[in-house]
């Protein structure tokens, strides 16, 4: 999955990030780290989808109600409105991504706001990126050759040739 695919699959998570040009601005990482971002996106959508399911549930209740049962219909309508309000508040307060990039060989994620839950997830993703090849997602290590880059042995060899092997032997 590319950064573009991720943005299309989870638009809510990127609502404050410019869609184009994707590769030049906003989401500037290789595919190996995309799963780290997707875990956070999925978490955002889990809560979002829970509210959607609740709204749909109350809609189905209203449809099934006997038309004369005005009190019950009013109750369901009220419940639905409460859920819609919860959903709007959730979207409003969700810390969405403003920038995702690589810095000094590890992942850096910026969001629209501070949030204890997502800040914890982001810290974990950033820490994990120090051990995951940015190219392919395999187990990687931080290579400090010319500049910093976290890569698996294969991709380090491709990029740095003999220097990668020498780096591994000396670290
Ligand atoms: Zn790799």
Which residues lie below 8 Å from residue 85, measured CB to CB, with a gap of 6+? none
Query: How many A from CA of 137 to the centre of ligand 1?
Result: 6
Distance (Å) of CA 46 to CA 31, 72, 86, 115, 155: 23, 29, 14, 17, 34
| pLDDT for res 25 | 52
Would you say the pTM of this structure is higher than 0.85?
A: yes
Mean pLDDT of the chain: 92
Domain residue spans of the chain: 3-130, 133-171
Alpha carbon of 162 to ligand 1 centroid (Å): 16
DSSP secondary-structure letter at 139? Answer: B
Distance 144 CA to ligand 1 centre (A): 16
Q: What is the structure's pLDDT at 162?
A: 95
Q: What is the pLDDT of residues 67-95, one digit of tens each?
A: 889 999 999 999 999 999 999 999 999 99
| Residue 65 tokens, joined | 């109600």
DSSP code of 114? -
In the prediction, which pLDDT does 30 show? 92
Q: Report residues near ion ligand 1: CB below 5 Å.
A: 133, 135-136, 138, 152, 155
């Amino acid at each position: 999955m590319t950064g573009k695919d991720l943005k299309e699959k989870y638009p809510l998570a990127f609502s404050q990030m410019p869609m184009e040009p994707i590769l030049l601005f906003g989401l500037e990482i290789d595919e190996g780290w995309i799963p780290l971002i997707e875990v956070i996106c999925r978490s955002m959508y889990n809560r979002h989808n829970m509210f959607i399911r609740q709204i749909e549930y109350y809609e189905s209740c209203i449809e099934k109600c006997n038309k004369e049962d005005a009190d019950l219909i009013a109750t369901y309508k009220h419940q639905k409105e409460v859920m819609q309000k919860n959903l709007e508040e959730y979207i409003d307060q969700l810390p969405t991504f403003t920038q995702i990039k690589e810095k000094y060989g590890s992942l850096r994620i910026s969001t629209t706001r501070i949030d204890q839950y997502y800040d914890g997830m982001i810290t974990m993703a950033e820490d994990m990126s120090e051990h995951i090849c940015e190219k392919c997602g395999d187990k990687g290590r931080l290579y400090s050759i010319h500049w910093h880059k976290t890569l698996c042995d294969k991709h380090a060899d491709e990029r740095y040739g003999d220097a990668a092997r020498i780096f591994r032997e000396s670290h």
